[in-house]
């Protein structure tokens, strides 16, 4: 169906969340549009608006690792939706995203009535594009629906009242089916032919007894350029000296480096390690070895196969070793997984697992996002997951075994840190869903 013009402010806001951090913004005109067109609303210059997928491929900059392709027009009036999406899959790089505004097929009669009332030209009947049909067509086109965010429930401004209602309904559960507008993000599923290089960052605080185990148990990664970066944070058990000894005697065919953390907190340690990383991919591995280091090969393979662009460890799927996680901690992890999944409109199995893998280019975009959103995550998990969902990276939960500690004690305070995490969830609810 045809969009009710002009678009609600909430829809434009959702689109700008994605386009703001893209390396390049292009538009594909998929049908004649009303004025103003979507490309005009977003300020995309005519020189960046393509008429075909082949023209779009030529317009993509060679070094654009995360171009955003806006579909200017309604998908429900594309004569061959499967063919169009297949052509787009071939035209854009792996890091590119296809973004479109979807209009509910259940209110087509309302759009037609509005056009008649305004004296506008009537459109031919469009396809009845449901969410299930959309996901099937995307799958057949080797694309993945990574974000389908309700953006508006009242298609009129109503003197500002419509914008307030849209913001309120977007923050509430159980209203998805009533949305008149949704913002769609599609990810091309493409494997990496050449093996990307890998940087593994290992934050360590009072973990002297497991440093050699972590380094020794890392998988071989044949044919991959690997570097390991230890970041030590104010230990008082000799962890720094143990890291230095491990670097001198590790015997692995990699570059191993270490830095002492001037700040505090795991999130700060990860940022320091990432700032020194040179690999195409960045991985985080906790120095306590509760997640087996050998599992990192599965994270690498999941990314390289094209399964996702953000691989997130999930400790809650497999049975745990006795004593690995206290019952109250497990309940807290389940709660935060559900709460963050709701805020991001993205199902998550485990938000606080310390093992993650992503592209270095995407992390650089996350740094820009963090400057806008705020820097108050003591662990660094949410400041990665939040933008990963908003960018449509395609978060994949990879199940990992979770073992009991063999050395030292956890650095996490259940109640003090739990309150900080809850505060972040509430801020995300207001600023991302609100």
Structure confidence at residue 2 (pLDDT): 39
Using 50 as the pLDDT threshold, list the residues of the chain that sit under it: 1-4, 35
Structure confidence at residue 395 (pLDDT): 96
Structure confidence at residue 76 (pLDDT): 79
- CATH code where residue 151 lies: 3.40.50.150
121 and 100 in a common domain: yes
CA distance 420 to 377: 8
| 193 found inside a domain | no
Residue after which a domain boundary falls, among 188, 220, 240: 188
- Comparing C-alpha atoms, which of 194, 269, 257 is closest to residue 229? 257
| 4 found inside a domain | no
Instruction: Establish whether the linkage from the previous residue to 36 is cis, with ω within 30° of 0.
Output: yes
| 3 found inside a domain | no
Joined tokens for residue 66: 């995360």
| 243 found inside a domain | yes
280 and 354 in a common domain: yes
181 and 204 in a common domain: no
Domain that holds residue 341: 198-433
CA distances from 91 to 54, 60, 142, 163 (A): 7, 9, 12, 36
| 382 found inside a domain | yes
**Residue 310 contacts residue 356 (beta carbons within 8 Å):** yes
CA distance 355 to 353: 6
Residue after which a domain boundary falls, among 156, 188, 220: 188
Q: Give 243's strand partners.
A: none
**Helix, strand, or coil (residue 246):** helix
- Comparing C-alpha atoms, which of 291, 271, 253, 434 is closest to residue 366? 271
49 and 136 in a common domain: yes
Structure confidence at residue 365 (pLDDT): 95
Give the helix ranges, DSSP H, for 306-381.
327-344, 360-373
205 and 125 in a common domain: no
210 and 107 in a common domain: no
203 and 161 in a common domain: no
**Residue 324 contacts residue 312 (beta carbons within 8 Å):** no
227 and 160 in a common domain: no
Structure confidence at residue 154 (pLDDT): 80
- Comparing C-alpha atoms, which of 277, 286, 281 is closest to residue 203? 286
Structure confidence at residue 291 (pLDDT): 95
Give the distance, in angstroms, between the CA of residue 308 and the centroid of all CA atoms in the same chain: 9
Backbone angles phi, psi at 281, to 5 degrees: -115, 145
Joined tokens for residue 338: 């559900």
202 and 184 in a common domain: no
Structure confidence at residue 90 (pLDDT): 93
| 417 found inside a domain | yes
| 2 found inside a domain | no
Structure confidence at residue 119 (pLDDT): 61
Structurally, how many domains does the chain consist of? 2
Instruction: Establish whether the linkage from the previous residue to 254 is cis, with ω within 30° of 0.
Output: no
203 and 78 in a common domain: no
| 1 found inside a domain | no
Residue after which a domain boundary falls, among 188, 213, 234: 188
265 and 123 in a common domain: no
176 and 296 in a common domain: no
Instruction: Establish whether the linkage from the previous residue to 6 is cis, with ω within 30° of 0.
Output: yes
- CATH code where residue 212 lies: 3.90.550.10
**Residue 11 contacts residue 101 (beta carbons within 8 Å):** yes
């Amino acid at each position: 169906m045809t969009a009710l013009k002009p678009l609600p402010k909430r829809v434009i806001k959702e689109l700008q969340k994605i386009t703001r951090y893209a390396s390049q913004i292009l538009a594909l005109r998929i049908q004649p549009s009303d004025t103003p067109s979507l490309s005009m609303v977003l300020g995309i210059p005519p020189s960046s608006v393509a008429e075909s997928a082949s023209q779009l491929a030529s317009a993509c900059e060679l070094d654009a690792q995360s171009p955003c392709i806006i579909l200017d027009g309604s998908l429900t009036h594309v004569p061959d939706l499967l063919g169009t999406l297949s052509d787009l899959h071939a035209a854009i790089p792996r890091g590119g995203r296809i973004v479109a505004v979807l209009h509910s097929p259940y209110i087509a009669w309302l759009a037609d009535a509005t056009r008649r009332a305004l004296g506008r030209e009537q459109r031919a009947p469009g396809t009845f594009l449901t969410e299930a049909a959309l996901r099937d067509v995307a799958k057949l086109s080797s694309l993945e629906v990574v974000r389908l965010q309700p953006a508006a429930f009242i298609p009129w401004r109503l003197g500002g009242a419509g914008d307030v209602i849209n913001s309120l309904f977007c923050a509430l559960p159980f209203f998805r089916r009533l949305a008149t507008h949704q913002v769609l993000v599609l990810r091309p599923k493409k494997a990496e032919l050449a093996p990307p290089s890998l940087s593994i960052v290992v934050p360590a605080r009072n973990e002297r007894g497991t440093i050699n185990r972590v380094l020794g148990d890392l998988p071989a990664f044949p044919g991959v350029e690997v570097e390991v970066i230890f970041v030590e944070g104010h230990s008082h058990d000799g962890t720094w000296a143990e890291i230095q000894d491990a670097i001198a005697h590790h015997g692995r065919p990699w570059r191993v480096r270490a830095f002492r953390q001037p700040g505090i907190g795991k999130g700060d340690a990860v940022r320091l390690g990432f700032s020194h990383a040179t690999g195409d991919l960045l991985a985080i591995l906790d120095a306590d070895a509760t997640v087996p280091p050998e599992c990192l090969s599965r994270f690498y393979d999941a990314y390289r196969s094209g399964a996702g662009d953000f691989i997130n460890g999930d400790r809650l799927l497999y049975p745990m070793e006795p004593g690995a996680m206290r019952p109250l901690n497990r309940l807290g992890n389940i709660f935060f997984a559900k709460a963050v999944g709701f805020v991001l409109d993205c199902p998550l199995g485990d938000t606080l697992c310390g093992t993650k893998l992503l592209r270095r280019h995407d992390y650089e975009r996350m740094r820009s996002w963090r400057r806008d959103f705020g820097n108050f995550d003591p662990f660094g998990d949410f400041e990665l997951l939040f933008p990963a969902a908003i960018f449509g990276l395609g978060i994949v939960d990879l199940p990992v075994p979770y073992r009991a500690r063999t050395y030292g004690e956890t650095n996490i305070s259940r109640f003090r840190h739990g309150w900080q995490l809850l505060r972040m969830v509430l801020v995300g609810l207001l600023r991302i869903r609100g």
